[in-house]
Amino acid sequence: MEGIVVKNLSRDFAYYEKEAGMKSSVKNLFHRAKQIRHAVKNLSFEIQKGEIVGFLGPNGAGKTTTIKMLSGVLYPTSGEVQVNGYVPWERKKEFKKQFAYVAGQKSQLWINLPAVDSFALNKSIYEISDTQYRQTLGELVELFGVQEFLKVQVRRLSLGERMKMEMIAALLHRPKVILLDEPTIGLDFIAQNNIREFLKDYNRNNGATMLLTSHYLKDIEELCQRTMVISHGNLVYDGTLEQIQDVFSNRRILNIHWNSPVQKEALVSLGTVKSWEPMRAAIEVDDAAVAQTIHRLFAMFSVGDIGIDAAPLEESIARLYEQGA
C-alpha cells in the first residue's frame, strides 16, 4: 500500500526582473517584467509504506519545494498528492499527527530555551499522553546519548548536539511519515553516522516511510534502497544507485603502483591522469580501452601492482544531472 502518491505535481513561482541603475528603478515603478519559474514540473511517483527513498538533485532542482508540498507548507500550482491517504495542504489534524519534517538548515527549537522546554511544547501540540511522552523521550534520549544536554540552552549546543535534539523533537509523536531535508548537513563524521544509524533503527522498529534529500551520498548509500533524481523540476531517474553507475559510467580508474619512479608527462597519452605521485598514479580510461591500456602500461613501465575501479559514483550522478538539464 502506498505511503506517498504524487501525480502530475507542479509548482510555479512568479518574480520580477529589474535592470541596474536609477533609471531602471523609476521605470520599474510603472512597468515590471514578470517572469515565471517552473520549480517543479509534472512530477509523479509513489513511495510504499515503510520505504526509505533518497531524493537527489543539484541546488535549485526542486527538492525542497517538493518536500514542502508533501508536508502541506506549500500549495501546488497543479497536481495531486496523498500522504497516508491525506491531502497535505488541507492540513487536517489527523494528518499533522502522522508526519514530521526535519530540515538541517531550519530549527524548530526555541534557541534561548533548553531543548526539554521545546519537547514539552510539542507534547501539548501533538496531544501526547504523559506515559507515551516519558517513554518516547526516554528512548530517544538514550539512543542519542544527550541526557546531559537536555537542560542546556539550544544556542549553546554544538551543531551535532542541536541536530540530535531536532530529531527528538520531530519524533516525539512517533510519526509514520518523515520528510528529511539535508538532516546531516554540516555535521562531523561521527554525528552523521549516529543520525543514519538512528534512522535505520526507527524505520525498522516503526515501519515509517521516509523521503530523504542529501548532498552526502553516504546518507543515500547507507539508508536508501531506492533513489529518485530530480533536475530542473523533472524526475529524470527512479531506481538504485547501482543502476546509475551501470548506465552512466563507461569509465574505469586504473590505480597503478610502480617499481621505479615514473614522470607524470609519460602518462598523459594513456588517459586522464586523476592523481599522480612518483611511485603511484590513477588514470581514467574508457571501459573498452582498459585491456589495451594495461598492456601498454606493462610494455612501457615497471609495474608493481595495478587495480581497476569504477569511476566515482558522484561523477555518474553529475552526468545524470546534466542529462536532466
- Say what the pLDDT of residue 131 is: 93
Please choose, from the candidates 233, 239, 227, 182, the residue with its C-alpha nearest in 3D space to the C-alpha of residue 79: 233
- Say what the pLDDT of residue 124 is: 92
- Say what the pLDDT of residue 79 is: 93
Q: Partners of 256 in the beta sheet? A: 281, 306
Pick the CATH number of 248-324 from 3.10.580.10, 3.30.2130.10, 3.40.50.1820, 3.30.2040.10: 3.30.2130.10
Range list for CATH 3.30.2130.10 in the chain: 248-324
Joined together, the cell numbers standing for residue 14 give 512568479
3-state secondary structure of 79: strand
- Say what the pLDDT of residue 325 is: 46
Instruction: Pick out the chain residues at pLDDT < 70.
Output: 1-2, 245-249, 311-316, 320-325
- Say what the pLDDT of residue 2 is: 67
Please choose, from the candidates 55, 88, 48, 53, the residue with its C-alpha nearest in 3D space to the C-alpha of residue 72: 88
Interval 138-159: pLDDT, tens:
988 887 888 899 999 989 988 8
Q: Does domain 2-11+41-245 have CATH number 3.40.50.850?
A: no
End-to-end CA distance of the chain: 33
Please choose, from the candidates 83, 92, 89, 154, the residue with its C-alpha nearest in 3D space to the C-alpha of residue 121: 154
pTM of the model: 0.74
CB 123 within 8 A of CB 172: yes
Backbone angles phi, psi at 96, to 5 degrees: -65, -25
Range list for CATH 3.40.50.300 in the chain: 2-11+41-245
Interval 226-284: pLDDT, tens:
999 888 888 888 888 777 766 666 778 899 999 999 999 999 889 888 889 989 999 98
Q: Cell 502506498 identifies what position?
A: 2
- Say what the pLDDT of residue 313 is: 66
